[in-house]
Amino acid sequence: MRIALINEDSQADKNKLIAETLCAVADKYGNTVDNYGMYAETDPHQINYIQVGVIASVILETGMADFVVTGCGTGQGAMISCNAFKNVVCGYASAPLDAYLFSQINAGNAISIPFAQQFGWGSEVNLTMLFEHLFCQDFGGGYPRRFADEEKISRVKMYTDIKYCSQKDVLDALTSLDQEDLKKLLDYTEFKDLFKKHAKEGEVTAFIRTLLAL
């Protein structure tokens, strides 16, 4: 699994700690992490929690990654911005149990973490355990296990009958945004380098390539 890490501005100074913790766990399970920043609150290229969802949607839709780890001060804003997009199913996790149940029951493709609330002494231990419980086994195994089939049916119905019917296709959503704002958001070196390496061919990839003149 290729995992994308996205930090927004208020918690950007924790990027190094989060990235190192995530990479250590991901490596154990044969996963790869790409760090999309922000890398520090003083970065010239800024990403706020509202914009996290746009980047997450593009990353997932173009195949640049299979899963997104993000968050903000409370974790709520980043989760809401991600779930605004049809192709992102983002959960919330402040503790290892949250992460484990999300992976086994909801089996989405993004997680939002509160990086300010109660983030003090020992927080790196909680974060390590959270990532361990998120990635320790394949998604969608069910909890309790005997409910796995029913939970899968519920997930499919949620996505196909509700989410996919109530939200715009990703390309339509992206072209509906202010194009100058979208270009400014995606036009930074690290994103463009990762896009060139990992984006798979498709409508959204072609759109982003044209937008950024790549």
- Please say whether the beta carbons of 208 and 58 come within 8 A: yes
Verify cis geometry, omega within 30 degrees of 0, for the bond prior to 96.
no
Q: How many CA atoms lie within 13 A of 29 on its CB side?
A: 18
3-state secondary structure of 111: strand
Confidence at residue 157, expressed as pLDDT on a 0 to 100 scale? 86
**Global confidence as pTM:** 0.96
Fold classification of 2-211 (topology level): Ribose 5-phosphate Isomerase B; Chain: A, (3.40.1400)
Residue spans per domain, the chain = 2-211
Confidence at residue 118, expressed as pLDDT on a 0 to 100 scale? 85
Element at 17 (helix H, strand E): helix 15-28
DSSP-H helix ranges across 49-202: 49-61, 76-83, 96-101, 123-135, 148-157, 164-166, 170-176, 179-186, 189-198
For the chain, 214 residues long, give each residue's pLDDT as a single digit of tens: 999 999 999 999 999 999 999 999 999 999 999 999 999 999 999 999 999 999 999 999 999 999 999 999 999 999 999 999 999 999 999 999 999 999 999 999 999 999 999 888 889 999 999 999 999 999 999 999 999 999 999 998 888 889 989 999 999 999 999 999 999 999 999 999 999 999 999 999 999 999 999 9
- Please say whether the beta carbons of 173 and 85 come within 8 A: yes
